[in-house]
Structure 1
Amino acid sequence: MERLASFAGDPLDRPPCRGCSSYLVEPYIKCAECGPSPVLLCLQCFTRGFEHKKHLSDHKYEIMTSDFPVLEAGWTAQEEIALLEAVMDCGFGNWQDVAYQMRTKTKDECESHYMKNFINNPLFSSTLLSLRSFEELRAADSAIPFRPTDDPPRPTFDSVLSRDMAGYMPARADFMEEFDNYAEWDLKDIDFVDDDSDILHALKVAVVDIYHSRLKERQRRKKIIRDHGLINLRKFQMLERRYPKEVQDLYEAMRRFARVVGPMEHDKFIESHALEFDLRREILRLQEYRRAGIRSFCSARVYERVKRVREDERRKRTMLCDVLQYVHDNRACQQWLHKQAAIDAGISPVVTTITATSSGRRTAPPLNLTGLPGTEKLDEREKELCQVVRLVPGAYLEYKQALLNECRRQGGLRLAQARSLIKIDVNKTRKIYDFLIREGHINKA
């Protein structure tokens, strides 16, 4: 005997009895020998020994019922199905309506049973965790620089980062302005009527076909952005900088071809060219060794060390060329001449720098933060930093959040990474970076 789940929902959706054509109610009988279409009988027809064509009354049979516990004692399989359908119809959290639809359980019983077995069930949670780890492992094996599972940045409206992301709204996973944003204007006044001529009807159909092609182009562009990870543009550019200059130029030139290949194929193409550049550089280095008569790598290390010393000496001899660039400034010329004389004498040069006061420039006064938006969100040390660096509080808070997010993702942050994230004066970036390090908000990589 096999016990299975019943047919729930509308009684009209249940299968009819083969004998009396009435809708089946549990428990009912299923023939275990007839097939492929099953022979289903109600209990009355089964007790009368109903036979039909190849079906005989002495065939083996199964009792179909859902009156047995599945997840918890006191809850039958039929009630489990009814609970899930009630939650689907009434919505999660409306336990009073769920209990009214079930009619066999109270509000508290429905809520506790659902939360225990379908929300907080460790079996389901472990399954979800295993699926997530599998997806992360599969994404880690690929060469895509941006994984779609990553949370894109959430910049403020009309900020620099928002403009870099082309108006992307992470909360809606869509763009503020679509490609060909006014394509619907050509379609809004079209109305198909019965008395249209054939030419007018064909013209309207052509306009609709053009609109469909524009919709397909929108979806194609979104797919390219999603597959290649172009939403987080700052992170994408930072990952590009790991390549040498030649590969970066190639990456920029070949980016237009990313639309015709997949993300993995495109990145493998770039990485293969990066390997080619490394091989070419190594070949040129070995050819230089061969021209110099070097036959072993031990000699090559000595050659490289002597070559660096020789280049340092050459730079010292050509320092007078640097002096000629400052001939128009008498004070700077005197400084460079003293430096050259000290180097020729074998002592470390001491160069006096020209301060802003001696050249007639005045240092800017501290920024007045009174009335500026965002000042109330800063503590005293942050206010002092903004006054000295002359940075408005709103911009400082945006830069701070960007550095904190990148440090959290990377596990640490270097000054070069901070400068690539914040496109302002490098001295201001260093002061902000040192301040956040000193306050313990971020840590060095």
Structure 2
Amino acid sequence: MRNHKNDHPYKIINHDFNLFDNTDWTAKEELALLNGLLNYGNWQSILKQSTVLSHRSVDELKQHYDHYYLEKAGSDQFPNIELQENVQYKPLMPYRFKTNEVPDPIRGDDNVYAGYSAARSDFEYDYDKNAEDMVAKLDSLNPSDADYALLSNLQVGILNAYRRRQGERQRRKAVIREHGLIMPQKTKSWLQRYYTTITPMVCDKLTRFMQFYTGQKFVYLMEGLHRIGELKLQTSRLIEYRRHGICTLQEAKLYLRLKKHREACMKDLKRFQQASELSFKYKQPVSLNVGVKRRGLTPLDIVGLPGYEKITTNERDLCRTIRLSPDNYLDLKQILIQENNKLGYLKLLTARRLLKIDVNKTRKLYDFLISEGQIVPKVND
């Protein structure tokens, strides 16, 4: 290319020209669309953030991008885009195991799951096992010429009902095989992976929808929700760091190390203050030797756990101390408050019967709710 000189001809080009043929989209709009896809990846967000495309609709964006970019109508030099179905994903647990790595289910009538027999590699007891009774004596009907049409329609109706029951039986078999429910212990251990982010209660509700998914697609759903929970956890930690003025990774590591050291010191100080030898009611000579230290439980790190943003600062300290997750604390708190509102008061014995958790945790939770004024103890309690 020759060097440009001041006497060479030139032409001023702005963004207000059509980049592709047979379209009213300008180059400025094309650039805004591509930048929006890179920055947001969401059609609604692109329209909301871009003033250039504010007069367009979501359908227009989708159709224009599919036709001119994905289908290469704008230029044959665009790269080929493979369909999503051709993308190979790495299977996740419990579907990542090869056949020779998966042990057979436990054999025996008392240990089979859903009637599955490992020796037969099939189900010993089918769902709706009495369905065949409908057609067992179907050939015994001998209609005369007068009622032939009526009984023929009746036979067809019985066969259709039997076919529907057979279809439901096969559907249940497919669900059990597809989702690895023949080995329930392995499936349950796989679901525990999501307990810290999705929570056990939500996992139990989501498993009801497994019948509408293939096994791999259900794993993708769970992994997506799990990733959201991890991002939420990381975001909560970043918020905590920025609240304390921390802006670098080195400062964050130092903060965590000092925080852990401070919690250990506070635990030792609390144990020292609770020593009976230091109480004014203790009549024996005061001794600074408080005996052997009891090693308490390490405070639970609840930052970013489900329900963390719904509880107050005092409640967070309580959850860390007694090692309760925020969502579990909110459930237990709701149970106690409902019982208190029903009776007008709440006894400690009743709280222990309702919660069915460690008695020390129940006592601390009970005393905390009393101090917060959310429940009222019985006078003689």
Structure with greater Cα Rg:
1
TM-score, normalised with respect to structure 2: 0.45
TM-score, normalised with respect to structure 1: 0.39
